[in-house]
Structure 1
Amino acid sequence: MAALRQTCAQLSLLQRGHLIGWAPVCLAIGIGLYFSWRSEPALAEYLALAAACGALLVLARLIGPALSPLAIGAALIAAGCILAGARAHQVAGPILGWRYYGPIEGRVVAIDRSASDALRVTLDRVKLAKVPPHRTPTRVRLSLHGAHQGAEPRPGLYMGATGHLSPPSGPVEPGGFDFQRHAWFQGLGAVGYTRVPMVALAPPEGGQWMFRVRMALSSRVQAALPGETGAFAAAIMSGDRSGMGQETLTALRVSNLAHLLAISGLHMGLLTAFVFGALRYGLALVPFLALRAPVKPIAAALALVVAAFYLGLSGGSIATERAFIMVAVILVAIMLGRRALSLRSVALAALIVLVLRPEALMSPGFQMSFAATTALIAVFGWMQHEAVPRGPKWFRPVVAVVVSSGVAGLATAPIAAAHFNQFAHYGLIANLASVPLMGALVMPAAVVSVCLMPLGLENVALWVMGLGLDWILGVAHWTSNLSGARGMVASPDGKVLPMMALGALLLVLAQGWPRFLGVLPIAASFVIWSGTTRPEVLISETGGLVGVMTPEGRALSSAKGDGFAALNWLENDGDAATQEEAAARWPRDPPKDWPAILPLRGKAALGVVNDCGAARWIVTNTIIPEDSTERSCTILDPRALSATGAIALRGPSLDALSARDVAGARLWNQRRERRGTVRSAEALAQ
C-alpha cells in the first residue's frame, strides 16, 4: 500500500498543473455510462450516486494531494450520470403511442429539408383531432411530399394539414443510431408526412423574431445569389439549409467539405477573428482611443457580442452552441489578459457544453469538434515548444494551413468513419484548396454584406462571397468525382471509439512516460475494428425488409420500401451499393445454405403463414391475426416487431438479438400502445 501511495504521489506530482483537462473526460465517462445502461435509474439510485459524489469529495480532502485527483475524478463520473439523467427528465414530453392520420395543426418553429430532399417543417403548440392535450406531442415534424400549392411555411405561422404521424422509430438494427433518443432530446414526439397542401390558420404572433430574421436573411441572400451558391451562402450566414440540393450535399460530404456548411467552430472562429481584428485595428487608428482605452479587451468584448448574435441567427443548434462557448472562453481570456488558446480553454468549454447539454456527447459533431480542437492545440503547442522550423516568415501561413488541415483531418477521420462509414481519400486536397478561401474571402464578405444590408448595398459583397463559394463548390464536385474519392468502412463495435478516445487523451493530456500508454488502447481499438463482423441477417422494424449477407454483399428482399433502413444497413456494412443493386443480389432460387427465412409483403402473406414449409422465420409487413394455430416457425409481423424493434441474426445458429435487447427500457423508448390508426370524422369524410 505504501509503494502504491508513493507511486501515485509521484505520478500526481508529474501531472500537477495539467489535471484540469481530465475533468470533462471524467464527466463524459459518467454521461456515457448513463446512456449505456439498459434500464432507467430509479430515484434511489440517483440519491446513491449523489451521496457517493459527496463522499468522494470529502475523501479527496482527507487523503491528501497524491490520491485526491482519483477521488475527484470518480466524483465527476458520478456527477456525469446524475447530469445526464436530470437532463433526460427535464426534456421529457409526450410521445405519440400509435399511428395517427387526420388533421395536424401547429406553429412553425423550424424549416429544413429531409434526406429525401423534401421540405420539412417542425411545429409546436400542436393540436391533433381526438387526442387530449396531455397526450399530444410538444413538437412534431412533417415532411411535405407531393405538389404543394398551399401557404408557404413561414416562421411563427400557424399552419395545418391532413397527414400521417408515427412515433419516432427505433434503431434500424441492434446497436445502431437511436433516433428515438435523438428525438427525445429534440422534443419531437412524432414524425410524419403530408401529401396535401398546408394551409395558413392564423398569422404569426409575437416572438420568433430571431427565426424571422434568419429566414428573411436567407431569402435576401438567395435572391441576390440564385442557385446552389445562394443556398450555400444562406446556410453559412443563417443556418437555413432548406435550399441545398442533395447532389451538392453529397459532393460536400464525399470531398470532406461538409464541415464548411455547418455553422460550427470554423465559421464562428473565422467570424470572430475577422471582427476582432477589424475592431482592434480600427480602434487603434483613433489616437484618442488608442492612447486612453484598452483597445484589445474592448475589441474582444464587441466580438463576443457579434458571436452571440451569430449564435441566435444560426438557430442555436448544439454544434453552434458548442462553437460559441469555445469562442467565448477564448475572448474572455483575452479580456482578462490570459492565454487564449490552451488545453485549459478547451477543457472549460467542454465542461460547459456537457453540463448544459449532456446528450451532446453522443453526437458526431461534439466528438469531431473537440477532437480536432484538442489535436490542433496540442500539435501547435508542441511545435512551438520544440521550436520546429516552419520556413521563412512569408511561408509560415502555408505551413499552418497544411498542418492544421492534416492534423484536424487525422483527428476526425476515425470518428467520421465510425459514424458515417466513409472517409474521403482526397479530403486533405479539398480542404487545402477551400479552407483558406473561406477565411480570407467568404466570411469577411459575409460580415461586410450584413453590415451593408440596412443600406441596401449588400449585392457587391455578396457577389464577392459568391465567387469564393463557387470555387468551393467546384472543388467539392471535382474532388467527389475523382476515382476512389470515397472509401467505405464497416461500423465498428461500440467499444472502439471510447477506447480510441481514451488512448488519444492519454497521449495529449498525460505528462511524462504515462502518456505513451495511450498507444495500447488505440492499437487495440483498431484491432477490434478490423475484426468487426456484421450480422448474417437483418430484419427491419416494420417487417417490410430483410437483408442477408452474401459474398457479394448484403442482399435485400425488396428494391423499394424501408429505404432508410436499407441505406443504413448497407452503409454500416461498408457497402456503397444502392437498395436496387442490393435487391438484385437476392436469389430467385435460394441455395442450400440460405437462411431459413421467408419475407412476405402485403396481404398475400395472410394466405401462406399457416404453412411454414422449410422456413424458420416468416417476416411480413402485414399484421397476422392472432389465433390458436400452432406453427413450426416464428411469425415476425409489425405487431411482434413493435415490441422488439429491428432484429439481427448472428452466428452459425442464427441467434436472434433485437434492438430492444441492446437499447433496454429507457425514457425515450417506452413500449408503444397497441392501437389502431386514429381517424377523425373530418379525415374519414375526405
Structure 2
Amino acid sequence: MPRDTNQEENWLEPGALPGKGDAAARGRLQRALGALEARLLAERGRLPLWLPVALGGGILLYFALRFEPSAGWRWAAPALLALAWLAGRRHPHLGWAIGLPAAAALGIAVASWHTARQPPPLEPPRGAAVVMGTVQSVDLLPEGRRVTLFPVRFGPEAAPAARPVRLRLRAGDPARPEPGDLVRVRALVRPPSPPAQPGAWDFQRAAYFAGPGASGFAIGPAAVEPGDQGPPLLAGLRGAIEARVGRALPGAAGAVSAALLTGGVSAIPAADLAAMRDSGLAHLLSVSGLHIAIVMGVAFATARLPLSLWPWLSLRVPGKAAAGVAALAAGAFYLLLTGAQVPMQRSFATAALATLAILSGRRALGLRSLAVAAAAVMLLQPAQILGPSFQMSFAAVLALIVGLEALRPAMARLRGEGGWWRRGLVAVAGLVATSVLATIATTPFGLHHFGRLQWYGVAANAVAVPLTSVLVMPAGMLAAALMPLGLEGWPLWAMGRGVEGVLLVARWVASWPGAATMAPPLPAGGLALLALGALWLCLWRTGWRWWGLAGVAAGLAMMVTARPPDILVSGDARLIAVRTGEGVFVQRQPGASALVRETWLRGWTEAAASPMPRDSAVDGGRLACVPNLCTLRRDGAVVALLLRGAPAGEACGRAPLLLSPEPLRGHCRAGPGGSVVIDRFTVWREGAQAVWLAADGPRVLSDRAFRGQRPWVPPVPRPRASGEPMAETE
C-alpha cells in the first residue's frame, strides 16, 4: 500500500492517524535542531561575543528591579559558570547555552556586590551649616570655583561624613583653594535630587555609585588654610595644568583646551557648550577614544623614532615592543589625569588590547577586543551601563568595526592602483563613513537621554575631527610635555588656534536652520528592543543577522506609540504642569526647579510652556481657570481640579483627581464619591507624580512606586520633631 505523504505532512489536521503525527513532529524537531546546530557551527566564532551582552542584561535586570535581590545571587553565578565550563568541554554549544544565563547571573551578582560595598547616602543638615573639609579637587567655572571636599564635617563637633561633598563658592570670593587645603565655609547643602518625574534620570542612583553624597553653594566667604598633607598627586597636577592653560589661553579656547588635557568641562561657557552640542561636536569635549588614540599614537611614534634612527640601539632593543610599552604608559597616565571617565576606560582597554595584538602579530581591533573592554568596564563599574557615556561610546565603536569591515571591499575598489588622488578620496570617504556610522549608532541613545537630533553633525565632524587630530591634540601633548621646562607657550598658542577653529565650526553649524531639533524621547523599553536588534544585526555573520532589523523597527515604533503623561507634579509641588492640545501650561511657585521644568518639556517635545491661565479658558474650554481654581475636562466631563486657594471640602468629589500645591490634610477620600488627591504631603512622601487621564479614572504613578525600595532611594521622610535643630552651627 503506498505511503500517504500528504497525511503525514498534515498531521495537525483532524483525522490524522495516531502515531504518524508523532513521528512527523519528531522529524520536524530534528530538522529544526539540525538547522540550528548548523547555523551555530557557522557562527561559532561569534558565540563568545554574546556573553558580555548577557552580562549587561543581568546588570540591567538588577537595576530594573523594585527591590534588592537576595545575596544568594552572588553564589548562584559561580556555580552556573562552573557548570557552563564543564558542559562546554564536551559540548561547546551546550556550554554556551548555559553560559548565557551564567553571565546574566554574574551581572546581577556583580551589581549587587558593588551596591553593598558603597557607603550609605548622606543626610546633610536641612538648613545652613558650617562645612569643613579637605579639598580633593577644584573645578573652574565660568564664574567662580567649585571644590570637592573629603573628608568633610558639617560643624566642628560633627563626625566626618562618609562621602565627598561638592560646594560652589561665591562668584566674588577671593579665596583660591588648591587640592590639599583645608576649607571652612558656611553653606547650604542638599542631597542629590530625585528624578524629575517617574522614569526620568535618577540623580540619586548616579551619585550613590559615583561617590558625591551632597552638593550645595556657599553663602559666606571661604576660609582657606594649608593642609597637613600635600595635595593628591594627579589632582594637583590637573590643577596646575588648568592654571597654566588658562593664563596662556583666556576665554572659551582656554577652557576647551584645558578640558581636552584634563577632562574638566565645567569652565566652558554655556553658549559654547550649547553650540558644540547642537552641531554634533559635543563628543570632542568628552575625553574618549579619539583623544586616547591620538595620545597613544603620538607616544608610539615618538618612542620608536629614536630607536629607528640609532642603528646600534635598534639592533639590540625591539623597537615595536618598546614603543608599545611607551604608548601604554602614556595612555594609562592620560586615563588617570582625566579622571578615568567611562569613555576613557573603554578606550584605554580597547587600545591596550589593540597594542598587545600588534605586538603579538594579531589583528589590532575587532569585536572580541571590544567585548573584552565592555566586560571589563561592566565588572568594574556596573552602574555605568545605565548612562549615555557607556551606551554611546560602545555603540559607536561597534558600528565602526562592523560597518567599516563591510565597507572594506568598496574601499579597496575605490583605492584601485593607489594613485595619490585615489588615496585622498579613500581618506575622505573613510572620514565621512566614520562620522555617518557613529551618528547612526549613537542617535537612538541620544534620543532616549536628551530628546534631541543634530542634523548636521556629519558636516561639522568632517572639519573638526581632522583639526583636532592633526593640530589640537598633538600640540596639547607637546605643551604638557614642555610644561616642566616652562616652554609650553608656543605649543599652547598652536593648540588655542586649533580650538578656536573647532569652536568657529561649532558656532557656524549650530546657527544653520534646524541644526538641532527636539524629538520624542525613546522609551527605555524601546531602547532595549532597539539595542538588542542592533546587537543581533552586528554580532552575527550569516543571513539571520537581518532579523535584528525587526527589533530595531519595534524599538523605534515605541517612540511613536508611547503616551506621555497628561499631568506632572514635581517632588516639592512647586511645579504642576498640564499638557493640552494648545501646549503645556505650568503653575510655578517661587523656588521651583528650572531643571525639572526643562526635563518635562523635553519629554513632551515642547520648546516652551505657558503660565497657567489666571481667569480664562484655553484649548476649547478643556482647561478653564478662575483665580482660585482650574478645571480640566475631557469629552465634556470634569477629570481634574487644580486648587489654588479654593476650599478642599467644596472641591472633594467634584472630580476624579484633585491637585494642590498645599496640603489638603485628608479632606478628601479616594473611592466612590471621593477623589484621588495629589497635594504637598503626597509628593513629600512619594516623590514626583505622573498622571494619565482615562475614561475609567486617572492612572497615577509616583516616583517611589517606580523606583521601589533600593539603597539609593531615601526612605519615607518623617516630620521633624519639636525642638529638633535644623543644622549644626558654630
TM-score (norm 2): 0.86
**Contact 2:128 2:188 (C-alpha < 8 Å) held by counterparts:** yes
Deviation track 1:325-367 (CA, whole Å, cap 9, x = no partner) reads: 2222222222222211111111111111111111111111111
**Contact 1:547 1:556 (C-alpha < 8 Å) held by counterparts:** yes
Question: Tell me, what secondary structure is at the counterpart of 2:651?
Answer: coil
Alpha-carbon separation, structure 1, partners of 2:41 and 2:676: 62
Question: Tell me, what secondary structure is at the counterpart of 1:668?
Answer: coil
Partner of 1:18: 46
Deviation track 1:276-315 (CA, whole Å, cap 9, x = no partner) reads: 2233334212222333322112111101111111112112
1:540 aligns with 2:570: yes
1:105 aligns with 2:115: no
Alpha-carbon separation, structure 2, partners of 1:646 and 1:80: 30
Partner of 2:66: 38
Partner of 1:336: 360
**Contact 1:137 1:188 (C-alpha < 8 Å) held by counterparts:** no
Partner of 1:518: 548
Partner of 1:355: 379
Partner of 2:708: 664
1:175 aligns with 2:222: no
Matches within 5 A, 1:441-520: 441-520=471-550
- How far does residue 68 in structure 1 lie from its aligned partner after superposition? 2.3
- How far does residue 618 in structure 1 lie from its aligned partner after superposition? 5.2
Question: Tell me, what secondary structure is at the counterpart of 1:163?
Answer: strand
Q: 1:261 aligns with which of 285, 293, 305?
A: 285
- Describe the shift of the 1:444–1:44 C-alpha distance in structure 2 as closer, same or farther (beyond 3 A): closer
**Contact 1:239 1:315 (C-alpha < 8 Å) held by counterparts:** yes
Higher RCO (CA 8 Å, separation ≥ 6 residues): 1
**Contact 1:111 1:242 (C-alpha < 8 Å) held by counterparts:** no
Partner of 2:685: 643
Alpha-carbon separation, structure 1, partners of 2:48 and 2:581: 50
Partner of 2:418: none
Partner of 2:105: 78
Partner of 1:682: 729
Alpha-carbon separation, structure 2, partners of 1:515 and 1:669: 40
Alpha-carbon separation, structure 2, partners of 1:150 and 1:615: 57
Question: Aligned residues, how many?
Answer: 669
- Equivalent residue letter for 2:606: D
Q: CA RMSD in A?
A: 2.6
Partner of 2:338: 314
- How far does residue 620 in structure 1 lie from its aligned partner after superposition? 5.0
**Contact 1:5 1:66 (C-alpha < 8 Å) held by counterparts:** no
Alpha-carbon separation, structure 1, partners of 2:423 and 2:669: 82
Q: Which runs of 5+ in 2 are unaligned?
A: 1-28, 416-421, 624-631, 633-638
Question: Tell me, what secondary structure is at the counterpart of 2:167?
Answer: strand
Alpha-carbon separation, structure 2, partners of 1:680 and 1:65: 62
**Contact 1:418 1:492 (C-alpha < 8 Å) held by counterparts:** yes
Which of 1 and 2 has greater Rg? 2
- Equivalent residue letter for 2:45: G
1:123 aligns with 2:167: no
Question: Tell me, what secondary structure is at the counterpart of 1:28?
Answer: helix
**Contact 1:98 1:674 (C-alpha < 8 Å) held by counterparts:** no
**Contact 1:537 1:650 (C-alpha < 8 Å) held by counterparts:** yes
- Describe the shift of the 1:619–1:117 C-alpha distance in structure 2 as closer, same or farther (beyond 3 A): farther
Segment drifting more, 152-161 vs 410-419: 152-161
- Equivalent residue letter for 1:142: L
- Describe the shift of the 1:275–1:576 C-alpha distance in structure 2 as closer, same or farther (beyond 3 A): farther
- How far does residue 471 in structure 1 lie from its aligned partner after superposition? 0.7
- How far does residue 470 in structure 1 lie from its aligned partner after superposition? 0.6
Alpha-carbon separation, structure 2, partners of 1:294 and 1:209: 33
**Contact 1:331 1:340 (C-alpha < 8 Å) held by counterparts:** yes
- Equivalent residue letter for 2:195: P
**Contact 2:565 2:691 (C-alpha < 8 Å) held by counterparts:** yes
Instruction: Work out the percentage of aligned pairs sharing the same amino acid.
Output: 32
- Describe the shift of the 1:537–1:388 C-alpha distance in structure 2 as closer, same or farther (beyond 3 A): farther
Question: Tell me, what secondary structure is at the counterpart of 1:469?
Answer: helix
- How far does residue 486 in structure 1 lie from its aligned partner after superposition? 0.7
- Equivalent residue letter for 2:164: R
- Describe the shift of the 1:334–1:630 C-alpha distance in structure 2 as closer, same or farther (beyond 3 A): closer
Alpha-carbon separation, structure 1, partners of 2:365 and 2:667: 70
Q: 2:245 aligns with which of 207, 221, 236?
A: 221
Q: 2:651 aligns with which of 593, 612, 629?
A: 612
Deviation track 1:506-562 (CA, whole Å, cap 9, x = no partner) reads: 111112122111111011111111222210001101110011112233221128622
**Contact 1:175 1:659 (C-alpha < 8 Å) held by counterparts:** yes
- How far does residue 164 in structure 1 lie from its aligned partner after superposition? 2.0
**Contact 1:536 1:549 (C-alpha < 8 Å) held by counterparts:** yes
**Contact 1:420 1:571 (C-alpha < 8 Å) held by counterparts:** yes
Partner of 1:67: 94
- How far does residue 162 in structure 1 lie from its aligned partner after superposition? 1.7
**Contact 1:507 1:516 (C-alpha < 8 Å) held by counterparts:** yes
- Equivalent residue letter for 1:445: A
**Contact 1:137 1:190 (C-alpha < 8 Å) held by counterparts:** no
Matches within 5 A, 1:582-597: 582-584=609-611, 586=613, 588-590=615-617, 591-592=621-622, 594=632, 596-597=640-641
Partner of 1:186: 210
Question: Tell me, what secondary structure is at the counterpart of 2:541?
Answer: coil
Alpha-carbon separation, structure 2, partners of 1:273 and 1:404: 19
Segment drifting more, 588-597 vs 167-176: 588-597
Alpha-carbon separation, structure 2, partners of 1:329 and 1:548: 52
Alpha-carbon separation, structure 2, partners of 1:190 and 1:102: 13
1:139 aligns with 2:169: no
Deviation track 1:433-484 (CA, whole Å, cap 9, x = no partner) reads: 1000100111111111112222222111111111111110011111111111
Alpha-carbon separation, structure 2, partners of 1:312 and 1:272: 14
**Contact 1:617 1:635 (C-alpha < 8 Å) held by counterparts:** yes
- Equivalent residue letter for 1:86: W
Alpha-carbon separation, structure 2, partners of 1:234 and 1:405: 25
Q: 1:570 aligns with which of 601, 605, 610?
A: 601
Alpha-carbon separation, structure 2, partners of 1:84 and 1:117: 38
Alpha-carbon separation, structure 2, partners of 1:509 and 1:681: 57
Alpha-carbon separation, structure 2, partners of 1:129 and 1:457: 45
Question: Tell me, what secondary structure is at the counterpart of 1:267?
Answer: helix
Alpha-carbon separation, structure 2, partners of 1:592 and 1:379: 51
**Contact 2:84 2:96 (C-alpha < 8 Å) held by counterparts:** no
Alpha-carbon separation, structure 1, partners of 2:616 and 2:425: 65
